[in-house]
Amino acid sequence: MLNKIVIRFANGKVMKGTTEDFYPNKEVFHMKDKENGGYHEIKVGDLKAVFFVRSFEGSSEYKDRNDIERTGLGRKIEVRFKDGETIIGYTQGFSPNRAGFIVSPADPDCNNERVFIVKAATENVQLI
């Protein structure tokens, strides 16, 4: 399945493209660059997060709503990254022993469909 992604590296670099071989338990995946069509091997350990998006553009004016209660997505979670960004959503697979986990946004209308979070890039993870 072809997924549109925005990847954010731990060093702040951002890349946009598509992937067909991302798996949460793998250390490497490949991305076709949106800008130049080139293929890149991406090491998960270098990342902050992988954002699976509806569109590459998104909407800079849109403000995510975190007060929406959703069912069937697991436990509600708040993730604060080392760079200060905070994401609130739901997860079915958080374990302190895993290198990463997937969060579904609290706001069903935001541009992110789901986010794979690299645990090493987080400052605090809390079930709420």
For the segment 89-99, the average pLDDT, to the nearest whole number, is 89
The domain spans of the chain are 3-127
The residues pairing with 20 across neighbouring beta strands, listed in sequence order, are none
* pLDDT for residue 93: 79
For the segment 92-106, the average pLDDT, to the nearest whole number, is 91
Residue 86's Cβ-count burial label (10 Å; 0-12, 13-18, 19+) is exposed
Query: What's the rounded Cα separation, in Å, for the pair 120 and 107?
Result: 25
57-83: pLDDT as tens digits: 888 788 888 888 888 899 999 999 999
Enumerate the H helices of the chain as residue ranges: none
17-67: pLDDT as tens digits: 999 999 999 999 999 999 999 999 999 999 999 999 999 988 878 888 888
Predicted TM-score (pTM) of the model is 0.93
pLDDT range class, residue 95, cuts 50, 70, 90? confident
For the segment 107-117, the average pLDDT, to the nearest whole number, is 95
Please name which of 91, 89, 71, 86 lies closest in space to residue 121, comparing C-alpha atoms: 86
Non-local (6+) Cβ contacts of 60 within 8 A are none
Question: Structure tokens of 108?
Answer: 């069903």
For residue 57, count other CB atoms closer than 10 A to its CB: 9
